[in-house]
Structure 1
Amino acid sequence: MSREHYQNLIIGSGEAGKYLAWNLAKLGQKTAVVERSLIGGSCPNIACLPSKNVIYSAKAAALVDPQHGLGVIAGQFQVDMAGVARRKRQMVDELVELHLANFKASGAELIMGEARFAAAKTIKVALNSGEERQLQGERIFLCVGSRASIPDVPGLVAAAPMTHVEALNLERLPPHLVILGGGYVGLEFAQALRRFGSRVTIIQHGERLLEREDPDVSQALLVLMQDEGIEVLLSSKLLSVTGHSGTSVNLTVDIAGEQKQIAATDILVAAGRTPNTDRLDVALGGVELNSRGFIQVDERLRTTAADVWAMGDCAGSPQFTHVGYDDFRVVLSDLTGGNRTTHGRLIPYCLFTDPELAHVGLSETEAQTQNVPYRLAKVPMSHVLRTRTLSQTRGFAKALVGADDRILGFTAFGAEASELLAAVQTAMLGGLPYTALRDAIFTHPTVAEGLIPLFTNGFQTANSRK
C-alpha cells in the first residue's frame, strides 16, 4: 500500500485539532484530519454544548414551578423528554454542518476513520467505509480526547449503565436514576433529571461533593442537591450491581461500613475520564505515555517523538474545551516561532448547576497548603441586588487578595456566577488591584455590580491567612 504524504496529520477533530487544521490549511499547508466519529469533537456533539442545552430545558421546567413564586402560573405542565432531545439534536446537527463548512473553506481534508501508528510519522487509517489508507506526515498532532471511565465493580459493565453520551439522548424519563460520582458531570445531570421529574440518588465515594473545592463550596452544593430532593450518599462505595440499566437494577452499596441495597431503574456513570490512547499504538510512533495512560508532553505540548505534538485531554491538560483551544494556540505558537507555553496558565472553570459555581486562581485550601498569605473577602449573593430581582439569592462570592492588593483567586456560587467570573479573571490577567473593581462604576442592577460590596465590605480579618 502506497503512503500518502501530508505536511500535517491531525488525529482527532476536537477543539485543538480542528482549529489547528483550519489555520495550517489556510497557510497553504497540505493538512488532513482523521476523525473516528464525532465531527468537531465531543464538545458540540456529546459534552459541553449539548449538556448545557438540556440543562437549560430543565431550568425552564423549574421556573414554571409555582414554588418559585415568580407569579407565572401555567396550569398543569409536563416534561416532553422527546422534545428536549429533539431540541438538542437540532443544535448538534447545525453545529456539525458549521464544522463541515469550516473544513471545506479552510482546505483541510477530513478523513473519517480510526487512526493508529504504523511507524514513526506514519499512520494507518481504518476508514469507516471499510477500506484502509496509510498516511505519512512531516508533523503529527494527537488530539484524541478521553471517554467516561467505568469503575471495576462486579456486574456494572453487564448492567450496561449510561454515560453522559446516552444520558443526553434520553427520550424517556428514568423513574429512579442512580449516579455514580459527585463531580461536575454527576451534579449537573442530577439536578437536570430531578427537575424533569426523576428520583435521583448520587453515590459519592469521598466524604464531600467536589472534594477539590473548599469545604464551604462542597457544603453549599450538598445543601442545593438536598433542597432539590436529590438523595446524596457520601463516603459510599458501590460493591456490586445486578439487573440491566433502563429496566431494573439493584445496587449493593457500602455506606460508612454498612451495606445498603438500592433498587433503581437506571445507572449513570460519572466517575472520571480515561484517555483515548489505548488504540493508537503510540509505541510504534515513539510516543510515550505516563502511568495513567496520558501522553507525556513538555510545556510546548511536544511529545517524546520528534515532530509529534499532543493536545487536550489525551495530553493530560485540564479537561475543559477552553483549555483545548489554548492548547491549539500553544502548538501554533511553537510552529510559528512564538514563545507561548502551558506554564502558569490562569484557567477558569464553571459548574453549570443552577445556581452556577465559578472559580479561577487559588482556592483557600490551595493557598493554605502552599503557605500563601491572603486576605479573604466574602459576601452572600443576597448582597448582589441582581439576585433579588431573580429571586435567586442562594450562594456566596469570595476572593483571595494578596499583600500587593492583587486578586489571587475567586469563587462564586450563585446566579450568573460565570459572568461574574469573567470580570474578575480579566482583572487578574491585567494584574489590577482589587480596588480597581471596588471603585468601578458597574451597571445597576447586574451581577458584576456585586463586586463592589465584595471588595468594600466583604473582608473578614478573622479568616485572613499570613
Structure 2
Amino acid sequence: MEQVDVIIIGSGQGGVPLAADLASEGKRVVLFERDRLGGSCVNYGCHPSKLLLASAHAAARARRAARLGVHAEVRVDFPAVMQRVRRVRDQMSSGVGRRLEKAGVRVVRAEARFTGERTVEGGGLTVTAPLVIINTGTAPAVPPIPGLEGTPYLTNLTFFELNELPARTLVLGGGYVGLELGQGLAQLGSEVHVIEMAERLMPTEEPDVSEVLHAALEADGVRIHLGTRAERVAHENGRFSVALSNGQTLEGEALLVATGRRPNTPALNAEAAGIELDARGFIKVDDRFRTTAEGVYAIGDVTGQPAFTHVSWEDYRRLMAVLKGEARRRGDRVLGYVAFTEPQLGRAGLTLEQAQAQGYKARAATLPMKRVARAIDLDETQGFFRLVIDEETERILGATFVGYEAGELVQLIMVLMEAGAPWRVLEQSQLIHPTLAEGLPVLARQFTQ
C-alpha cells in the first residue's frame, strides 16, 4: 500500500481542476479514471452534442432562410459531421491528459474501489490518503423493457460513434438529452419519433415551455408520442421494433434510450469506506461536500445534484475554498441551465410555482418573443421571456426564457440574482436597440403596472 496526499476518483469537470490545483501546491495526487479523460462533458455530453447540433442547426437555419427570401439547397454529409464531432472531442480529452501531466498528477487508468477507510485500489495499485474526493458522475439509466437488453440500442455513451445517418430513429424519453439529439437528427435528415411517458415533453418544466418546444420539434418533422411507453423491443435484420402501450408499433434503424440518469457508485464499494448512499444510490453529502466518512468528499451529479458541467465546476471552486477553511457552501449559488433545442430553453432560479411553494409572495411577468423587435427582424418569434420576483423584497427569484439564443440571455438574469439586485435595476436599464436583450427591461416594466 502506498501513502499519498490526495486521491481523486473521476476526471470530470470538478475532479480535473481539483487534481491539477492540489498537485500544483506540491501535494502527491493520484487520480483514478476508468474511461476517457474529461468525463461526460468532454466525451459524451456537452461538447459532442453541441458539435453535432452546430451542424444540425446550421442545416435547419439554411432551410428556414426561405422565410427571409433566401433559398438554399441543403446537403448533409453525416459522416463528415460525426468525424468532426469525434476529432474535436478527442482533442479536448487529450488536452485534459496534458493538463494533468503538466501539473504532476499521477493518473491511473483503471476502475477504482474502496477497500477500507480512505483506501482505494485500482489497476493493481492500492493507495491511502487523508483526503479523498469522489467525482464519478452519472450514467444513462436504461429501463428494464423486455427485449431491450442485448440489442445495439444507443445511449449518449455510444451515440457519437454513429457513422451513418439512421433513416428512422426512435427516441425513448422527451427530456433534455432526447430532445436535443432527437431534434438534431431530424434536422440532419432522419425520421425521428420521440416517445414520452408523460403527457407533455420536458414534463419537469412549465407547461407553456412544453407547448413551444412541441410545436418547434413538429415543425422540424419530429413525430411525438405522448402519454405512452415502450412495452417491448425487438431487433432483427438491422431494424428495431418498439411496441407501445397505446397499441402502436414503431420501427426504426436506430433506438436512442434517453430515460434518465443513475449514479456511478456501484463499483465504488462505498460501504467499505463508511460512505452512505441514498435510496437511489447517490452519495450523501452535507452542504460542505462531506460524505459520512471522515476525510472523504464528493462533488457533482454523483451526489444527486443537477447533471450540469458548470455545477460540477463550481463545486470544485467551493470545495477548494472549504479545504482552505473558507465559508463556502454547496448551495450558495444561483442555479441555471440551458437546453440547446431550437428554440433554446434557458432557466435560472425558481419558477412561479416553485417560489410560491417555498412561501414567497411571488409574481411573474411574461413577454412573448413576437413583441421583441430583434426577434421580428430575425423571424425568430417562437417563445417568451418570463421573470419571477419577490414582491416583498423586489429581488429576482427566477427566469424562464424560451427562444432564439435564450441560453445567452438568461445569464444576464443570473448575474443580477447573484448580486441580489432588485428587478427595478433591470427595469431602469437602457439596453441597446435592436437586440434581443432589449426586451428584458420591457419585461420588467410589467411589474410597474
2:402 equivalent among 413, 419, 422: 413
RMSD of aligned alpha carbons: 1.6
Do the aligned partners of residues 66 and 344 (structure 1) sit closer, same or farther apart at CA in structure 2, a change above 3 Å counting? closer
How many Å separate the matches in 1 of 2:242 and 2:415?
46
Structure 1 residue 210, shift from structure 2 partner: 1.3
How many Å separate the matches in 1 of 2:94 and 2:68?
39
How many Å separate the matches in 1 of 2:308 and 2:411?
16
- TM (norm. structure 2) is 0.96
Alignment partner of 1:225 is 2:217 = yes
2:304 equivalent among 289, 303, 316: 316
Q: Is the 8 A contact 1:59 1:192 kept in 2?
A: yes
1:115 corresponds in structure 2 to 112
Q: Is the 8 A contact 1:179 1:203 kept in 2?
A: yes
How many Å separate the matches in 1 of 2:94 and 2:284?
34
1:86 corresponds in structure 2 to 83
Alignment partner of 1:306 is 2:273 = no
**Residue 139 of structure 2: SS of its match in structure 1?**
strand
Structure 1 residue 214, shift from structure 2 partner: 1.1
Structure 1 residue 335, shift from structure 2 partner: 0.9
Report the AA paired with residue 164 of structure 2: R
1:250 equivalent among 221, 241, 261: 241
2:443 equivalent among 440, 454, 458: 454
How many Å separate the matches in 2 of 1:363 and 1:191?
25
2:268 corresponds in structure 1 to 280
Per-residue deviation, residues 398-457 of structure 1 (Å, max 9, x unmatched): 11122132211101000111111111111111111112112212222222211122112x
Gaps of 5+ in 2: none
2:383 corresponds in structure 1 to 395
How many Å separate the matches in 2 of 1:273 and 1:89?
23
Structure 1 residue 204, shift from structure 2 partner: 0.4
Structure 1 residue 93, shift from structure 2 partner: 2.2
How many Å separate the matches in 2 of 1:81 and 1:227?
21
Structure 1 residue 460, shift from structure 2 partner: 10
Alignment partner of 1:333 is 2:324 = no
Q: Is the 8 A contact 1:214 1:364 kept in 2?
A: no
Gaps of 5+ in 1: 127-131, 462-466
1:39 corresponds in structure 2 to 37
Report the AA paired with residue 5 of structure 1: Q
Structure 1 residue 66, shift from structure 2 partner: 5.5
Per-residue deviation, residues 204-241 of structure 1 (Å, max 9, x unmatched): 01112111111111121112222222111111121111
Q: Is the 8 A contact 1:378 1:460 kept in 2?
A: no
Do the aligned partners of residues 233 and 424 (structure 1) sit closer, same or farther apart at CA in structure 2, a change above 3 Å counting? same
Q: Is the 8 A contact 2:65 2:71 kept in 1?
A: no
Q: Identity across aligned pairs (percent)?
A: 36
- TM (norm. structure 1) is 0.93
**Residue 290 of structure 1: SS of its match in structure 2?**
coil
How many Å separate the matches in 2 of 1:387 and 1:107?
50
Q: Is the 8 A contact 1:275 1:294 kept in 2?
A: yes
Per-residue deviation, residues 271-310 of structure 1 (Å, max 9, x unmatched): 0001110011111111111110111111111111110011
Alignment partner of 1:64 is 2:62 = yes
Structure 1 residue 74, shift from structure 2 partner: 3.8
2:175 corresponds in structure 1 to 183
How many Å separate the matches in 2 of 1:376 and 1:123?
50
Per-residue deviation, residues 139-170 of structure 1 (Å, max 9, x unmatched): 11111111101101100112231001222222
Per-residue deviation, residues 308-362 of structure 1 (Å, max 9, x unmatched): 0111111111111011011112221221101111135310010000111001111
2:202 corresponds in structure 1 to 210
